[in-house]
Amino acid sequence: MKSKKIYLEITPFFPTSKHFFGPYIYDQANAIRKSGKYEVVIVKVRNKHNPERPDKKSNVYEYDGFKVYNLDIYDLPSSTLPGLFQRINFNNMMKLLDQTIEIKPTDIGVVHAHTVYPAGALAVELQNRFGIPALIQHHGLDVFQQDSGRLLKGLANTWNNTYKMRYFLNLVNNAALNIGVSQKVLNVLNSTEGFKNTSQYVLYNGVDINKFYSLNQEKSELFTIGCIGNFWPLKDHMTLLKAVNLLKERGLQNIRVKLIGTGPTLQECQAYIKEHGLSEMVIFEKELHHRELNAFYNSLDLFVLPSYYEAFGCVYTEAMQTGVPIIAVKGQGIEEVLSPEDKKLGLIEKGDYRHLADLIEFRYNHRSKVDYDFDIDQYITQFLQFLEQEILPKWHKGQR
């Protein structure tokens, strides 16, 4: 018997030494570990046919104090009929727990899955078989993963999405708790026909305040704007570039924009910059490790990401934790944590580059810091208290 109950996290996202995707999962797991209430175990699920292997000879790697156990998932391509190999995948997970990690179901106090599938499917089966409360955390607005899979077209894709919706609805309806990174995410669940699980919790993506904080350094005479985000259409970098071009036309050229990211719309943005003579104003920076981002944020006067499909957005809170004001799009998850003043000065309608230019110009003329506290340790303390008071007692008493 373990001295502490296991807090089992099943997740498709977790950083490696070479890939930084999923630092927010690491920060959350680390905060749970620091609480001292649980021993945290990380199982990282990955597609059997396209595994991301830090070491091809090993299914285990270490990252900042965590052992991460990789679990290869069998599935058909293009998210076709997810769960078809659930028995095989679950049995493989049980072998991993028993033979590699060396823990038993009775050692596990909570299983916390990130995304509905495949993590949520494995978590709910653990719950059904062993009575371990399953938490499913939803990080995006495509809660039921209807946009995943690109090979199926037409009626085949429609039929497959109908199957997925029915299968995933059963999972979220039976989970002990559904967690949203914003109320906006939970609203997606609650507006879905057939969803009836009232056990819900908003857990914002907090910030490790030992990583992100104000350096109180003097700023350059240049007004520096930062933007971190992959170059996808929904991130809408073009709206920012159009705003910068408008400011240039107004004669405001003492501005520098630092962009970090890669993706399919990058070439389009580069072409726009060249065509409009913005090369001296817009700089492309290399990808930075999560630990290096504090210096980047502290070099900024303003952070702008005009994304219009954002469940929450860790980059906003990281920037604000260092004192940097932000500009985002109305109706996104980040709006829930902004003060009334910052909603007025920091939100635009989707694609409204003229309003964005006006807000940038205002911040240029009225340079100031913001004061927010997104301490992840506080968020996790409150979350664990909620679990202990509202969720775990029901399972201990068999009132499910």
Q: Give CB contacts under 8 A, 24+ apart, made by 237-240.
A: 237/261, 237/265, 237/269, 237/306, 238/265, 238/268, 238/269, 238/272, 239/306, 239/348, 239/351, 239/352, 239/353, 239/356, 240/304, 240/305, 240/306, 240/353, 240/356
> Does 134 lie in the same domain as 15?
yes
Is pLDDT at 197 greater than 90 in this prediction?
yes
Q: Distance (Å, rounded) from C-alpha 394 to C-alpha 400? A: 6
**What pLDDT, on a 0 to 100 scale, did the predictor assign at position 158?**
87
Task: Give exposure, 19-30, as e/b (b: 16+ Cβ within 10 Å).
Answer: ebebbbbbbbbb
> Does 151 lie in the same domain as 245?
no
pLDDT digits (tens, 9 = 90+) for 261-313: 999 999 999 999 999 999 999 999 988 888 889 999 999 999 999 999 999 99
Find the helix or strand (DSSP H, E) in which 6 lies: strand 6-11
Find tokens 């726009």 and name the residue.
272
**What pLDDT, on a 0 to 100 scale, did the predictor assign at position 54?**
46
CA 245 to chain centre: 31
Q: Distance (Å, rounded) from C-alpha 51 to C-alpha 201? A: 32
> Does 162 lie in the same domain as 275?
no
Average pLDDT over residues 36-58: 75
**What pLDDT, on a 0 to 100 scale, did the predictor assign at position 49?**
58
Domain count, the chain: 2
Give domain status of residue 217, yes or no. no
**What pLDDT, on a 0 to 100 scale, did the predictor assign at position 55?**
45
Q: Which of 40-49, 64-73, 240-249 has the lowest mean pLDDT?
A: 40-49
pTM (whole model) above 0.85: yes
Q: Which of 310, 279, 341 is nearest to 188 (CA)?
A: 310
**Alpha-carbon distances, residue 35 vs 121, 185, 322, 376 (angstroms):** 27, 26, 24, 11
> Does 136 lie in the same domain as 247?
no
pLDDT digits (tens, 9 = 90+) for 1-20: 567 899 999 999 999 888 87
CB atoms within 10 A of CB 253: 14
> Does 287 lie in the same domain as 392?
no
**C-beta of residue 167 within 8 angstroms of C-beta of residue 145:** no
pLDDT digits (tens, 9 = 90+) for 130-184: 999 999 999 999 999 888 776 677 888 888 889 999 999 999 999 999 999 999 9
Average pLDDT over residues 342-356: 98
Q: Distance (Å, rounded) from C-alpha 69 to C-alpha 273? A: 44
**What pLDDT, on a 0 to 100 scale, did the predictor assign at position 53?**
46
> Does 134 lie in the same domain as 76?
yes
Is pLDDT at 52 greater than 80 in this prediction?
no
Average pLDDT over residues 53-77: 83
> Does 166 lie in the same domain as 63?
yes
* Cis peptide bond upstream of 233, omega within 30: no
Q: Which CATH number characterizes residue 327's domain?
A: 3.40.50.2000
**What pLDDT, on a 0 to 100 scale, did the predictor assign at position 51?**
47
Give domain status of residue 190, yes or no. yes
**What pLDDT, on a 0 to 100 scale, did the predictor assign at position 59?**
84
**In the chain, pLDDT over 70 holds for what percent of residues?**
95
Domain that holds residue 251: 223-365
Give domain status of residue 371, yes or no. no
Highest mean pLDDT among 159-173, 205-219, 345-359: 345-359
> Does 109 lie in the same domain as 88?
yes
Is pLDDT at 322 greater than 90 in this prediction?
yes
Average pLDDT over residues 336-363: 97
Is pLDDT at 21 greater than 90 in this prediction?
no
